[in-house]
Amino acid sequence: MIKVDEFCNELSKYSINFFTGVPDSLLKELNNYLSSKSMNIIAANEGNAIALATGDYLATGNIPVVYMQNSGLGNAVNPITSLVAEEVYSIPMLLMVGWRGMPGIKDEPQHKFMGEITLGLLNVLKIPYVILTANTTSDDMKKYIKEAYQYMNKNKSPYAFVVEQNCYEEYNYKKDIEISNYTLSRENAIDIIISNCEKKSIFISTTGKTSRELFELREKKKQCHSKDLLMVGSMGHASQVAISIAARKKERVVYCLDGDGAALMHLGGLSIVNSMKVNNLRHIVLNNGCHESVGGQKTVGYEIDFCDIAKACNYSKVIKVDTEESLINALKDINNFDGSVFIEVMIKSGSRKDLGRPTISPIENKYMFMKEIEG
Ligand SMILES: Cc1ncc(C[n+]2csc(CCOP(=O)(O)OP(=O)(O)O)c2C)c(N)n1
């Protein structure tokens, strides 16, 4: 196992001091350590992080680090091939890639395919890598950093550390607790929404704990899951799936339960709602100001105004709520409303320790959902 402070100190010997990326549960210790550092920018998506790292390299000449879950490689491929590649600007950077869905390790369905192709994808991208495991020692780590640095410095191109689970020792830190007076939890808010929506409403829920909580609430209420599409992967894309279902199924009210991190990841998705004429769409961002599902690392959710953005994107009605009562009133207000609606729900961070995972597969979910909305 590697000590995260030793790891970062070793990097700084090579003037590798700038970190950017999107947090991942496998990189939680690194993210926790970095949360106290100034040269760490939590990016909206992994492609943005590659570009931020490029800018920092151009400005300083020092090699930057980009961290991400392997699912984020998808977002990073375009800037890797058309900005960072040797054929273009030839930018060295160290990628830290959390290896979810690693073959042989039990993981969730959304991680399986990317887990299988992670090393192959790095090969296709011509990015050499080394795998950090629970058995990687401090001496190994120092050797790997030296080799990575020599490669990046000589070739002026990226190198990757692929990070297996339990590779870092637990890092105890005093969490910079976000002071918020919000009283609603995400689970509370979801409960209120599914209890106060129009009867036949459809739900498209974002990745992470939102979908897990929606699933468990249905179980608790003994309701079936057929009206819900649990988008366990493809972070940031739930609202676009919801928009096109809403466009086809005008007779149904379509709710998208989004997260602030997910909405930020592909914010441009908000811009097409007006041109799609989806008067039956209710886009709800559950804003806890952080990536709660992977460890609570901050987003800019509490610092920006999603409602202003939604207004500028021409949603017909835009509402911000921060209490149980105001959420219930907003849901009453939009009942039978003919127009697209955006609601930002200000919530506190946190979730139940015993929160489970969906026990139906995405394929089962797809068939029951399609059956529910057909005709
Ligand atoms: C492309 C991609 N990058 C990173 C992740 C890892 N990930 C899963 S959930 C999550 C946090 C989502 O944050 P938010 O949407 O704010 O919801 P919250 O967990 O706070 O409810 C992240 C970063 C991912 N699944 N996909």
pLDDT digits (tens, 9 = 90+) for 194-249: 999 999 999 999 999 999 999 999 999 999 999 999 999 999 999 999 999 999 99
- What is the token pair recorded at 74? 């998808």
Predicted confidence band of residue 42 (pLDDT cuts 50, 70, 90): very high
What is the C-alpha separation between 333 and 152, in angstroms, rounded? 57
Using alpha carbons, list the distances in angstroms from residue 194 to 316, 327, 355: 22, 12, 18
Q: What is the pLDDT of residue 206?
A: 98
Instruction: List ligand 1's pocket residues with C-beta within 6 A.
Output: 22-24, 69, 71-72, 75, 186, 206-210, 235, 259-262, 288, 290-294, 299
What is the C-alpha separation between 22 and 290, in angstroms, rounded? 11
- What is the token pair recorded at 48? 């943005």
What is the C-alpha separation between 312 and 355, in angstroms, rounded? 36
206-215 pLDDT, tens per residue? 999 999 999 9
Residue to mutate, 163, 207, 234, 298, ligand 1, most ligand atoms under 8 Å from C-beta? 207
Using alpha carbons, list the distances in angstroms from residue 212 to 22, 114, 242, 366: 21, 21, 18, 16
Which amino acid belongs to residue 189?
A
Distance of CA 261 from the midpoint of ligand 1 (Å): 6
* Atom number, ligand 1, closest to the C-alpha of residue 264: 15
Q: What is the pLDDT of residue 177?
A: 52
Distance of CA 223 from the midpoint of ligand 1 (Å): 26
H-assigned helices in the chain: 4-12, 28-34, 46-60, 73-79, 109-124, 138-155, 186-196, 209-220, 238-248, 260-265, 273-276, 306-312, 324-334, 362-373
Nearest CA to ligand 1 atom 24: 235
Distance of CA 287 from the midpoint of ligand 1 (Å): 12
Distance of CA 186 from the midpoint of ligand 1 (Å): 14
Predicted confidence band of residue 171 (pLDDT cuts 50, 70, 90): confident
Distance of CA 251 from the midpoint of ligand 1 (Å): 31
**247 exposure class (CB count in 10 Å sphere: 0-12, 13-18, 19+):** middle
Contacts of 320 by beta carbon, 8 Å cutoff, 6+ apart: 306, 307, 343, 344, 346
Nearest CA to ligand 1 atom 16: 261
Report yes or no: 327 and 193 within 8 Å, Cβ to Cβ. Answer: yes
Q: What is the pLDDT of residue 37?
A: 77
Q: Which helix (H) or strand (E) holds 97?
A: strand 94-98
